[in-house]
Amino acid sequence: MNIRLKIYSFRFAEQVLNSNLSLKQEVEQILSDPRIDVRNLSRPKFNAILDQLFLEKGWQRQPAVFNENIDAYAKMDFLKNRIGIEVEFGHSSFIGIDLLKFQVASYSGFDKIDVGIYITTTRNFQNIMKNELRQNWEGSLTFEKVVRYLPLLKSAIQVPIYVIGIDL
């Protein structure tokens, strides 16, 4: 099974990323790396694999959103050249916290990112993992939910966010 990517661009995120096309392509290549074997891919294992692949490409791991390390949850997963990344394979209740990290990191006082990339899996991916590959992905946030919610948060989330759904 090969990984495919679904894309949703919020607030012209794709156009912002296209100004740094090599990094956009790097992220997409990492997510569809042939070394990712989906046949026995648990959520923690997938996080660990992505962690390794992003670090290999020089991404900063878990940079603080604020200027000081005041809270363990106030960190993005990765940062490179003003692009922040959150990988969310956990419960859908984390969506608000994750999106606010992008907003705060882009705010004038912190000014760390120009665009956020939000990575999650699609409903189809989760169904295949559960029903065919016997992996527990139930309750995880889905790409479809992020796409549904982001426009509703338009007044609160003003940073461009590029949503990537990992699909099979």
Q: What is the pLDDT of residues 4-35, one digit of tens each?
A: 999 999 999 999 999 999 999 999 999 999 99
Q: Structure tokens of 77?
A: 């997963």
Among positive and negative, which fits the CA dihedral 52, 104, 98, 168?
negative
Q: Is 149 helix (H, G, I), strand (E, B) or coil?
A: helix
Q: Output the domain CATH number for residue 69.
A: 3.40.91.20
| pLDDT, position 102 | 93
Does 138 score more than 90 pLDDT? no
Cα-trace Rg, the chain: 15
**Parallel, antiparallel, or unpaired: how do β-strands 161-167 and 83-87 relate?**
unpaired
pTM for this entry: 0.94
| pLDDT, position 152 | 94
Query: Which residues constitute the domain of residue 58?
Result: 4-167
DSSP 156: T
| pLDDT, position 107 | 82
Burial of 153 (0-12, 13-18, 19+ CB in 10 A): middle
Please write the tens of the pLDDT for every residue from 49-105: 999 999 999 999 998 887 666 665 688 999 999 999 999 999 988 898 899 999 988
| pLDDT, position 108 | 59
Burial of 17 (0-12, 13-18, 19+ CB in 10 A): buried
Q: Structure tokens of 160?
A: 């461009």
Closest CA to 45 of 8, 107, 87, 104: 87
Angle of helix 43-56 relative to helix 21-31, nearest 10 degrees, comes to 140
Does 36 score more than 90 pLDDT? yes
CA 46/CA 90 separation, integer angstroms: 12
| Total structural domains within the chain | 1
